[in-house]
Amino acid sequence: MADLGVKICGVDFSNPLIAASGTFGFGREFAEMYPLSELGGISCKGITLKERMGNPTPRIAECESGILNAVGLQNPGVDHFIEKDLPWLKEQNTVIIANIAGNTVEDYCAMAEKLSDSDVDFIELNISCPNVKSGGVQFGTSCESVGNITAEVKKHCKKPLMVKLSPNVTDIASIAKSAEANGADVISMINTLTGMRIDINSRRPIIRNNTGGMSGPAVFPVAVRMVWQVYNSVSIPIVGMGGISKWEDAVEMLLAGATALQIGTILFNDPYAHRKIAEGLSNFMDKNGVKTVSELTGAVKPW
């Protein structure tokens, strides 16, 4: 039997499949269908320092091979998460990753401090947020801003720090190297691609926010390319994501350089997709004499 377990920063995952942030809430709804221990980990819904109601509706639009969303980080705030959600999550026998978002460096640092004293296993830094002190430009779009926020949060973070990269940049490898140089322990990638749909009858954008984040199978080739580029540029582990919907995708993303994987959009139309992916991955490994997942990481053979 293939060993699906992986280890990142000294933390053991029973398998490499992690529920992606923003697609799994805090897991309570999915726990009604199956034990959450079936997943290697859960990256929780993005949390902010204070409660947020999110963007006005409509804020989700289906697309061919994916969805657009501009939910706007609706969440109960970090204190509520620590007091009400985390104790229950820690009973689910899986790795817990707290995803944090903010509009100022101070917000991120305050959350990192609070969560460092909690029972989360990782802190995932969502840098695809507008920096209100820099004219609203996203934290994750330049090497300088990525380096600055990573370095500042690292000073307040006692947990392994996972920096989640935006794909909406010109040179993803340079961004990743800046995160690594300034203290990132892990890279997770990719976040959603910016997209837009228009209702041809009303002539208005389908999403009230005008644009949204595109996820789902359509973005998978972009994600594979970016994971491969970053794997060849940094030495820290990569958690790959972006359109993984079947076991073949999981193998491909691992070969590109991922150590573990996040799956998200597929869970909306198949909440049991992780079972099929894990079974297919295991069968592939057995068939090809691969004993551990780590043997697949970065094993692509370039021409």
Residue type, 46: G
pLDDT in tens, 130-142: 777 877 789 999 9
pLDDT in tens, 12-43: 999 999 999 999 999 999 999 999 999 999 99
Average pLDDT of the segment spanning 273-298? 98
Position 116 scores a pLDDT of 98
Q: How confident is the model at residue 1 (pLDDT cuts 50, 70, 90)?
A: confident
Residues serving a catalytic function are 129
- What's the number of CA atoms in the CB half-sphere (13 Å) around residue 270? 12
Question: Residue 56 and residue 71: Cα distance in Å, rounded?
Answer: 8
Q: How confident is the model at residue 129 (pLDDT cuts 50, 70, 90)?
A: confident
Three-class SS state of 42: strand
Position 131 scores a pLDDT of 73
Examine the pLDDT at 219 and tell me if it is beyond 90. Answer: yes
Question: Phi then psi for 265, rounded to 5 degrees?
Answer: -55, -35
Examine the pLDDT at 286 and tell me if it is beyond 80. Answer: yes
User: If residue 138 lies in a helix (H) or strand (E), which one and from where to where?
Assistant: none
Position 8 scores a pLDDT of 98
What per-residue string of b and e applies to 123-150 under the rule 16 or more CB within 10 Å gives b? bbbbbbbebeeeeeebbbbbbebbbbbb
Task: Classify residue 298 as left (phi > 0), alpha (psi -120 to 50) or beta.
Answer: left
The Cβ of residue 183 has, within 10 Å, a number of other Cβ atoms equal to 16
Average pLDDT of the segment spanning 80-103? 97
Average pLDDT of the segment spanning 256-285? 98
Q: How confident is the model at residue 272 (pLDDT cuts 50, 70, 90)?
A: very high
- What's the number of CA atoms in the CB half-sphere (13 Å) around residue 45? 25
Position 205 scores a pLDDT of 97
- The pLDDT mean for the chain works out to 96
Question: Residue 279 and residue 265: Cα distance in Å, rounded?
Answer: 19
Q: How confident is the model at residue 51 (pLDDT cuts 50, 70, 90)?
A: very high
Is 157:123 a contact under the CB 8 Å cutoff? yes
Residue type, 148: N
Q: What is the pTM of this model?
A: 0.97
Is the backbone peptide bond immediately before 190 cis, with ω within 30 degrees of 0?
yes
Task: Classify residue 9 as left (phi > 0), alpha (psi -120 to 50) or beta.
Answer: left
181: its two tokens: 């140089």
Is 163:152 a contact under the CB 8 Å cutoff? no
Is 102:75 a contact under the CB 8 Å cutoff? no
Position 137 scores a pLDDT of 80
Position 134 scores a pLDDT of 75
CATH of domain 6-295: 3.20.20.70
**C-alpha dist (Å) from residue 83 to 76, 80, 157:** 11, 5, 19
Question: Residue 80 and residue 76: Cα distance in Å, rounded?
Answer: 6
Q: Residue 276: CB partners within 8 Å, gap ≥ 6? A: 246, 247, 270
DSSP states along 149-173:
HHHHHHHH--SPEEEEPPS-SS-HH
- With pLDDT > 70 as the criterion, what percentage of the chain qualifies? 100
Three-class SS state of 287: helix
Examine the pLDDT at 220 and tell me if it is beyond 80. Answer: yes
Is 216:205 a contact under the CB 8 Å cutoff? no
Question: Residue 150 and residue 127: Cα distance in Å, rounded?
Answer: 9
Examine the pLDDT at 71 and tell me if it is beyond 80. Answer: yes
The Cβ of residue 91 has, within 10 Å, a number of other Cβ atoms equal to 10
Average pLDDT of the segment spanning 116-124? 98
